[in-house]
Structure 1
Amino acid sequence: MTAGNTRRSAARAPRMAAAGAIAVAGALLLTACGDQTEGAKDTGGKEAAGSKAPLFDKLPKEIQDAGVVKVGSDIAYPPVEFKKDGKTVGIDPDLADALGKELGVEFQFNNGTFDTLLTGMRSGRYDIAMSAMTDTKDRQEGIDPESGKKVGEGVDFVDYFTAGVSIYTKKGEGKDIKTWDDLCGKKIVLQRGTVSEDLAKDESEECVKDGKKKISMEAFDQDTEAQTRLRAGGADAGSSDFPVAAYAVKTSGGGKDFELVGDQVEAAPYGIAVSKKNTELRDAIKAALEAVIDSGEYQKILDKWGVADGAIDKVTVNGGS
């Protein structure tokens, strides 16, 4: 299954998107987003231990003192981040652990619904948001994608992965759906606040312009809820970032529930969101990610989760469009 830029309209990019030819077969030996904040842990003595890490001095003093980077994440988005045996696992947690070793601090994941993560970061609940979040100009500038109006302070992104949006259906029911055009007059389920939702709205408008029926949409707080709705026959199709959709296809019902249809579209970068006021933390994370890539640990993590084709070659800040 290869990525394709086949959109009719110049729509926005996905919550997460894995560009390139990430094959479904053998591509996802994966196993993750929720709503209760995990309790803070005792960080006594961590500053002294952390100060020996190679990039500790790049961190803001308050992070050095705390010994912790508080991460806002929707921990129900497998394989990016999810719960397994009571632990937070996935691509993002593994990368965060690697960043923590370079910086000498713990990256502590706190569960929240996806569309509240940036608000939580701005309020100080989180230091960063890391949750398969697509780096877009709208998010950089604090623009509401529907109204086009500025609704809040924008954020900076340290980009760490690339992915695209996919459509999936119940097994054996995808023969009439190959592209977004085929969803005109049909119902789709997806996660609220994601690029899949933005894309569905844009494509629905195109359907109406072409004299067809609009796309009916049902949005949920979590992607897993959308999958449950589709599994029960409550929609014609679902949409999410390719790695997530492919993981659901591979694992749900032992691979008997869903199938991917068509190509993934809208390849775009995932970014770690940081307040524009906290450039010191942003630059420290960028330096740590560069070190993780140079050491080879980055490649090992992506290989572990079967998403190596989404790897980046160079760390950029605000590379989304």
Structure 2
Amino acid sequence: MTASPLCRTTAAKSAKSRIAAVGAVAVAGALLLSGCGDQTNDKESNAVVDAPLADKLPKDIRAKGVIKVGSDIAYPPVEFKDKSGNTVGIDPDLGEAMGKQLGVRFEFENGTFDTLLGGLRSKRYQIAMSAMTDTKNRQEGIDEETGKKVGDGVDFVDYFTAGVSIYTKKGDDQGIKTWSDLCGKKIVVQRGTVSHDLAKAESKKCKGGKKIAIEQFDNDQQAQTRLRSGGADAGSSDFPVAAYAVKTSGGGKDFQLVGEQVEAAPYGIAVSKKNPELRDAIKAALDAIIANGDYEKIIKKWGVEDGAVKEAKINGGK
């Protein structure tokens, strides 16, 4: 970025004055020719005029004015489509606020959860932001199920904390209070999530051949539909998502939470390890919106204050 913000502001004011006075054209022309800076990249200049952290971004992203975000947009209230088809939720709101700090737009692209890190590796996305739990395995590129290395791993910028909850049909908890109570029963989960991992791990502990029957789906809403229809005994999701489903599905008449949330851990914004400049820019933007109060407003808007963080951390997951 070669043109200073002061020069762009002055030129912009001159352009406005041109409507009222012909003489301002000469002033604007003189400014552009008098060494105010390289004006060839108008897109970059326009994108960052009012963005205090724009210079922290990689130049190619700064020039395009867009960060492409891989996200499973079927996970309310974290990210989902409203009745008009708009992408809304905690993550889109946080992305918009951080974008103002960086002078770019966070463009959310839909994908199934278990393909997001692959999309990041293939550079389809520049970040993944989708209620993704920051774990050491994901940081190191280790497959959660096989324990084998499948990639370089990612860095996370941690922005929220959430545990995992179990929910059942309302008035029909079947005695389920803990994960061990699921032995001999059927649970529905979203594929590739911490809930999925916990169900598989717990099933291995079940005695007497009473394993947990696990039915996995591409997204959490499909799992909820299955449970609602009586096709399973319980479901599991991250606490904010389970609580939102309990509150909204069927006007609050479909589901109930059972037991306590477990495995509290940070949600992280995933960034390629090959792009530390972008990672650090995201962290700076998150810290900025925490400091200016935008973060708190968004968290309160969605009723998830219990998961708020006081500062951004890199790779805080275990």
TM bin (shorter chain): 0.7 to 0.9
**Relative contact order (alpha carbons < 8 A, sep ≥ 6): 1 or 2 greater?**
1
The one of 65, 68, 79 equivalent to 1:67 is 65
Tell me the distance in 2 between the aligned counterparts of 1:92 and 1:110.
12
2:270 matched residue in structure 1: 273
Question: What amino acid sits opposite 2:252 in the alignment?
Answer: G
2:303 matched residue in structure 1: 306
Task: Tell me if the contact between 1:167 and 1:238 (Cα under 8 Å) persists in the aligned partners.
Answer: yes
Task: Tell me if the contact between 1:46 and 1:105 (Cα under 8 Å) persists in the aligned partners.
Answer: no
The 5 Å alignment of 1:1-321 reads 45-52=42-49, 53-84=51-82, 85-207=84-206, 210-321=207-318
Tell me the distance in 1 between the aligned counterparts of 2:118 and 2:88.
24
Identity of aligned residues (%): 75
Runs of 4+ in 1 over 6 A off after TM superposition: none
Residue 100 of structure 1, CA deviation: 0.2
Residue 133 of structure 1, CA deviation: 0.3
Tell me the distance in 2 between the aligned counterparts of 1:192 and 1:213.
22
Query: Helix, strand or coil for the counterpart of 1:78?
Result: coil
Tell me the distance in 1 between the aligned counterparts of 2:43 and 2:222.
38
**What is the CA deviation profile of residues 141-192 of structure 1, one whole-angstrom value per residue up to 9, with x for unaligned ones?**
0001111110112000000000000000001111410100100000000000
Q: Which moved more, 1:220-229 or 1:166-175?
A: 166-175
Q: TM-score, normalised by structure 2?
A: 0.85
Residue 314 of structure 1, CA deviation: 2.0
> Residues 288 and 79 (structure 1 numbering): CA distance in 2 closer, same or farther, change over 3 Å?
same
Tell me the distance in 1 between the aligned counterparts of 2:170 and 2:305.
26
**What is the CA deviation profile of residues 82-110 of structure 1, one whole-angstrom value per residue up to 9, with x for unaligned ones?**
00111100000000000000000000000
Residue 73 of structure 1, CA deviation: 0.3
Query: Helix, strand or coil for the counterpart of 1:161?
Result: strand
**What is the CA deviation profile of residues 103-140 of structure 1, one whole-angstrom value per residue up to 9, with x for unaligned ones?**
00000000101000010111111000000000000100
Tell me the distance in 2 between the aligned counterparts of 1:63 and 1:278.
11
Gaps of 5+ in 1: 1-43
Q: TM-score, normalised by structure 1?
A: 0.85
Tell me the distance in 2 between the aligned counterparts of 1:235 and 1:69.
39
Tell me the distance in 1 between the aligned counterparts of 2:66 and 2:124.
13
- Which entry has the higher C-alpha Rg, 1 or 2? 2
Tell me the distance in 2 between the aligned counterparts of 1:180 and 1:59.
43
Question: What amino acid sits opposite 1:79 in the alignment?
Answer: P
Residue 196 of structure 1, CA deviation: 0.3
Query: Helix, strand or coil for the counterpart of 2:313?
Result: coil
- When the two chains are superposed, the root-mean-square deviation of aligned CA atoms in Å is 1.0
> Residues 106 and 45 (structure 1 numbering): CA distance in 2 closer, same or farther, change over 3 Å?
farther
Task: Tell me if the contact between 1:138 and 1:145 (Cα under 8 Å) persists in the aligned partners.
Answer: yes
Tell me the distance in 1 between the aligned counterparts of 2:129 and 2:275.
15
Tell me the distance in 2 between the aligned counterparts of 1:211 and 1:104.
59
Residue 51 of structure 1, CA deviation: 2.4
Residue 241 of structure 1, CA deviation: 0.4
Residue 45 of structure 1, CA deviation: 5.0
Tell me the distance in 2 between the aligned counterparts of 1:219 and 1:62.
39
Task: Tell me if the contact between 1:157 and 1:271 (Cα under 8 Å) persists in the aligned partners.
Answer: yes
Residue 212 of structure 1, CA deviation: 5.0
